[in-house]
Structure 1
Amino acid sequence: MTKKVINQKGKFDEELINTIEPNFVFKDKPINRFNIIENSNDSNQTNKAELLEELKKQINSIENCNLKDNSQNLVLGDGNINSSIMLIGEAPGIEEDKSGTTFKGEVGDLLNKMLLAIKIKKQNIYCSYAINFRPPEDRKPTTQEIKRYSVFLREHISIINPKIIILMGSSAMEAVTGINSKISSERGKWKETILKNKTYPVMISFNPSYLIRFPENKKYSWEDLKKIKQKIDEMKIII
């Protein structure tokens, strides 16, 4: 059995970001979106859609942001907003920036193959990014950028309320867990992150764009995918 690690660093990061980015703090008393009556899927979906639209407006209201100023589109997320699986990548690339949707082109093709290998269709899960705008020249987001957008990402996760979170890439790992070590030493281990007093199982793995550049690491991603599939089966999640 893999020992679960409860990472509390996210709370300290949120306190830090609150001190340097006060304009982007959400209200202390958020809408209670967890006490939802069973068999109310339609109202639940509508509620989530409205909350996501409001979140998008919040992100678009950012000022003095180099990422936003140099991007064509904000990429929030897409897929099934009621899915039990939320997959978070690092940041949009050129194809995603043009389309305003997640994981396009060669990167998207590889992700689709990876998910289909464990019998998951991308459209049946929910996909997003740690950073919602494309970094110039597709560079790695800075720690300050990750912290700035992690406020929105945490709210994003709370809205989707998945049962499992998949983090692909070091920026996604840092944004959600606060871990900024090498992803090679953290991937493949089930961890837990706590957001708004709710615990989420988290699996860290390589980003598809990284695997395109370093295909020799696909074997490690395959091991991660098998663990994800095992967890889905254990939790009796239907996708």
Structure 2
Amino acid sequence: MTRRDSILREMGLGPIWRLRDAPEVALAADDGPEPAVVQDDPPPAPAAPPPRQAASPLKSLASFQNAAAEPAVARTPPADAGERTARLAGLDWEALTETILACRDCTLCEQRTQAVPGVGDVQADWLFVGEGPGAEEDARGEPFVGKAGKLLDAMLAAIDLRRGDNVYIANAVKCRPPLNRTPEAEELAACFPYLARQIELIRPKLIVALGRPAAQALLNTDIRIASARGRCFDYQGTPVIVTYHPAYLLRNPLDKAKAWEDLCFARRQMRDRQSGQGEV
């Protein structure tokens, strides 16, 4: 078996897709929370919170006194996109990373362990943009390190790429949404100037949007993956190709063949760009 055949089998383009160094049943198992959103469909309505028990007057008074004695951590009032973009203009990588790690521009900061700026080659031709950090990413501070990350690594290898080598990986939002829910429109808007500045610094030749939230953030329009596949979109002169998020593919393995087609399309577009023949 050739190396390419081995990689394609790992991606699932053999009898069954499987992750490297993992048993076949691991594909269907859920040993850690991945983004729960189905990338090409609207998210389900959140479950109603359990009823709250009334606190006794004495307990309420004690809680109030304790709260008054301890200063609360204030969240920065949200600014409009133009103000946030202007604030980030001119920041280099180090300053931008520090700003992301300290960001309190939306409610996602309140439950995160840490923000996850991104990882990879800061002068890469390829930029892959996902949705947001999951639990493992939130703990380690790096995007795509769980099961979805292993699948993404296999997808990259199938088109002769690898993490950190001419590839940068980022997310549309830099903090983990609670329970891995889909980022809300206000959260995507608050975080997008960070991604926009990263794109300005990287200057990639091609962007691959992994999943619906990433595509919507980059293209600033409602979009469905099924109808967007096989097309080149534009982000300020940089071609954008849309495909499924690896976490979605883990739940819907029959769509992995479509993702492989999208990767082959992206590779052709990159070759055309490098040869000067590509058009957005």
> Which runs of no fewer than 5 residues in structure 1 stay unpaired?
1-17, 32-49
Checking the alignment, whether the CA contact within 8 Å between 1:183 and 1:205 is kept in structure 2 is yes
Checking the alignment, whether the CA contact within 8 Å between 1:89 and 1:169 is kept in structure 2 is yes
Match of 2:256 in 1: 218
Instruction: Measure the CA separation in 2 of the matches of 1:166 and 1:148.
Output: 21
1:136-151 matched pairs, under 5 angstroms = 136-151=178-193
The amino acid that maps onto 1:58 is T
Say if 2:220 is the partner of 1:160: no
The amino acid that maps onto 1:209 is A
Instruction: Measure the CA separation in 2 of the matches of 1:202 and 1:193.
Output: 7
Match of 2:99 in 1: 58
Instruction: Measure the CA separation in 2 of the matches of 1:82 and 1:175.
Output: 22
Instruction: Measure the CA separation in 2 of the matches of 1:27 and 1:136.
Output: 27
User: How far did residue 181 of structure 1 move?
Assistant: 2.5
User: Identity percentage over the alignment?
Assistant: 29
1:197-208 matched pairs, under 5 angstroms = 199-208=237-246
- Greater share of residues in strand: 1
The amino acid that maps onto 2:171 is Y
Checking the alignment, whether the CA contact within 8 Å between 1:77 and 1:127 is kept in structure 2 is yes
User: How far did residue 62 of structure 1 move?
Assistant: 3.2
Match of 1:47 in 2: none
Q: How many correspondences in the alignment?
A: 197
CA RMSD of aligned residues (A): 2.1
> Which runs of no fewer than 5 residues in structure 2 stay unpaired?
1-77, 276-280
Distance 1:58 1:183, change over 3 A: same
Match of 2:175 in 1: 133
- Greater share of residues in helix: 1
Match of 1:24 in 2: 84
Checking the alignment, whether the CA contact within 8 Å between 1:187 and 1:206 is kept in structure 2 is no
Deviates more, 1:135-144 or 1:172-181: 172-181
Larger radius of gyration: 2
2:121 to 62, 80, 86: 80
Instruction: Measure the CA separation in 2 of the matches of 1:134 and 1:209.
Output: 15
Deviates more, 1:207-216 or 1:57-66: 57-66
Checking the alignment, whether the CA contact within 8 Å between 1:80 and 1:123 is kept in structure 2 is yes
Checking the alignment, whether the CA contact within 8 Å between 1:146 and 1:174 is kept in structure 2 is no
Question: TM-score of the superposition, structure 1-length normalised?
Answer: 0.76
Checking the alignment, whether the CA contact within 8 Å between 1:89 and 1:207 is kept in structure 2 is yes
Question: TM-score of the superposition, structure 2-length normalised?
Answer: 0.66
